[in-house]
Structure 1
């Protein structure tokens, strides 16, 4: 079957090749009637459209933006908070026609997505700032927006008031009389397990800020929390560590959790041991995703507006793609929402 080209369509309609090209790439240059004739002929002839690679070379743009995630892309599809953030980005960018490519910060063989995938700009979402992937994107001089990352001069960024909200969460527990408080956190790299050292290395900007906020309150109160730490998504391992911690005679009466998902693991461990929430153990999460109100009792947690975060991130990247000289550093509010998972510290046995 002969290959269908722009010239094939031009010959069928009786117009120039440039006119056919404009029907696909510059429709405002044609009357609606003529464009409809050209598109109808293209469909009849089985024309798939202009070659994307050639079109990108001609325009100097790809029509695609990247979103750099943590090592595992699975996180984007399994975590409801991350899903809400990505959905808001897609909704904000929909009128622009830009496509979205998810990029892992890990490399596979000779392929380094941040270096090799064609894109016009990228959002860097909660990644290790020392990751080679971040460095590749910067070296490519692409328009970038950092989200849940330490602010960097020359780049727009969007963060949540993690530290301030974490302070509120810790104050809430101290105000309820809790003096034995633990941390449940996550990380991409070890050490993992039950760690009796609050100075264990913390990675990720949000993790660091939340830990600082907790310490701001518990340090002056003379409270030194044990730490449970496991990889992202390994609720099963965190559950086992929490079960060990909660089995001790001097078990904590409250746990500050990095996220609502982390709180699930602790909640499951408490159930394994027959501990009641909040009579025996108070729990505080972070994010206020859908699971927070699905838990029984509903989870006391810090609310962050991931939809607003996604919309702001996409809008800032869209501005950067238009070569805006502005590089704002946005700090979105986060608010403690008190529900049924926290209560007064139990009386000493």
Structure 2
């Protein structure tokens, strides 16, 4: 079957090749009637449309933005908080026609997504800032926005008040009389399990800020926490570590958890040991995603507006893209969204107070 081109359609309709091209790429240049004739002819001839790669080269844009995540993309589909964040971005970008490409920060010898995937700009989300992938994006001079990351000079950044929210939670536990408090931290690398060295590296902007907030309050009160640390998605490992800690005679009476998902492992450990929440053990989380209200008893947690964070990130990136098109410097605003402690039934007065 002969290859159908723009000229084939032009010959069928009796117009110029440029007119056919405008029907696909610049519809405002044609009357609705003429455009419909051209599109109908294209459909009859089996023409799918201009080649996307050629079109991108001609326009100098791809119509796609990348979202750089961790080494694994799995949690983008399994974590409810990440899903809400990505959904808000997609909704905000829908009117612009921009599509989303998820990028892993890992790569192979032949393919490094941050280096090789075509995109107009990128959101760096929940990613190791020292990752070579971030360096590749910067080397490409792409418009970028950093989300849940340490602010980077020259780029817009969107964060939530992690440290302030963590302080509120720790103060709340002290007001309830708790003095034996444990941290359930998240971290992919380094020491896992029961951490005896308080100086152990805490990875990721959100993890660091939340731990700093807890430390601010406990240090002032002269209290030393016990710490367990596992990759945030490893609920089974958190359950194991928490069970070991809660089996001790001097077990903690409260847990400060990095996230609501982390708290699930602590709940499971308490159930394994026959401990009642909150009578024997108080548990707090962070995020206030769907998991928090689904747990029984419902989880005391710090609420962040994940959807607003997604909308703010998408808006900041579209502003950066527009600045690039206009030949202007990208906006470098630092957006800090508030958090709020949401007290539910997983926290109560310390059993020994």
| TM-score in terms of structure 2 length | 0.97
For 1:247-266, what aligned pairs fall within 5 Å after superposition? 247-266=247-266
The whole-number CA distance in structure 2 between the counterparts of 1:196 and 1:280 is 24
2:347 paired with 1:345: no
How far apart are residue 200 of structure 1 and its match?
1.1
Stretches of 4+ moved more than 3 A in 1? none
How far apart are residue 242 of structure 1 and its match?
0.6
The whole-number CA distance in structure 2 between the counterparts of 1:3 and 1:148 is 49
2:75 paired with 1:70: no
The whole-number CA distance in structure 2 between the counterparts of 1:300 and 1:199 is 27
Residue aligning to 1:95: 95
| Residues 93-141 of structure 1: per-residue CA shift (max 9 Å, x gap) | 0001011000000112321110111100000002111110001101110
RMSD of the alignment, in Å? 0.9
Residue aligning to 1:330: 335
Residue aligning to 1:43: 43
Contact 2:260 2:289 in 1 (8 A): yes
Residue aligning to 2:320: 320
Contact 2:257 2:286 in 1 (8 A): yes
The whole-number CA distance in structure 1 between the counterparts of 2:108 and 2:288 is 34
Count the aligned residue pairs: 348
Gapped regions of structure 1 (runs ≥ 5) = none
The whole-number CA distance in structure 2 between the counterparts of 1:107 and 1:74 is 15
The whole-number CA distance in structure 2 between the counterparts of 1:145 and 1:161 is 17
The whole-number CA distance in structure 1 between the counterparts of 2:129 and 2:352 is 45
Gapped regions of structure 2 (runs ≥ 5) = none
The whole-number CA distance in structure 2 between the counterparts of 1:263 and 1:252 is 14
| Residues 263-316 of structure 1: per-residue CA shift (max 9 Å, x gap) | 000000000000000000000000000010111110000000000000000000
How far apart are residue 231 of structure 1 and its match?
1.2
Contact 1:198 1:224 in 2 (8 A): no
The whole-number CA distance in structure 2 between the counterparts of 1:268 and 1:38 is 63
For 1:84-233, what aligned pairs fall within 5 Å after superposition? 84-233=84-233
The whole-number CA distance in structure 2 between the counterparts of 1:31 and 1:161 is 52
How far apart are residue 244 of structure 1 and its match?
0.4
